Amino acid sequence: MAVHMDKAAVREMIARRAEREIESGFYVNLGIGMPTMVANYIQADKQVVLQSENGLLGIGKFPEEAEVDPDLINAGKETVTAALGSSYCSSAESFAMIRGGHLDLAILGGMEVSERGDLANWMIPGKMIKGMGGAMDIVHGAKKIVIIMDHVNKHGEPKILKECRLPLTGKQIVNRIITDRAVMDVTDEGLVLVEVMNGWTIEEIKDSTEADLKVDPALYEQAR
């Protein structure tokens, strides 16, 4: 039986789980929206550098009201803080870091992910957008791509599909998906369920996933 949580609690849970993907020494890009929350949960003993494609290397936690600097923003135009030792650069230099393969990890949001690791996260046809942003560069430049998202949309329809229906950001680039219900890995053998979030069952997750979903045998052992 699923545990019902309010939206804020669900987002915090996903962000906290995503933080576990970050290792000390990593250079990390956090996408706009829910991924930016991950910065608030990075453990103090981890030496991590957060990069924003608009030209800030060394993002700190979200500012308290007294700390807000309207001139200091991330790529999503959210106000941020600069960590000790941070540096500023041009967008061209920032994208050179991304395209040069210097990011260890990118944690991004997703609208849809296919069972092969295709990602759609940059537009919905017919809706006004300001531009494609940097996601297309990031998904091909970072060494590992983790997508955090709701498992289903507001209509209760699966967002993890056999084939993405929305315009693609990148093909076969997702390594791991973290949702409010599960953690799944994209492998050469297909999509594999590796963790079940508290309150959900394996069958409930399979029923709410359109993509073919294999189950890590260790999960069946844990369920006994």
Q: Which of 25, 16, 85 has the alpha carbon at shortest distance from 56?
A: 85
DSSP-assigned beta bridge partners for residue 192 = 185, 214
Q: Which of 5, 70, 78, 65 has the alpha carbon at shortest distance from 35?
A: 78
Structure tokens at 82: 């600069």
Half-sphere CA count of 132, side-chain side, radius 13 A:
11
Separation CA 48–CA 212 (nearest Å): 35
Active-site choice (19, 53, 112, 115): 53
157 given a catalytic annotation: no
Q: What are the helix (H) ranges across 146-199?
A: none
Catalytic residues: 53
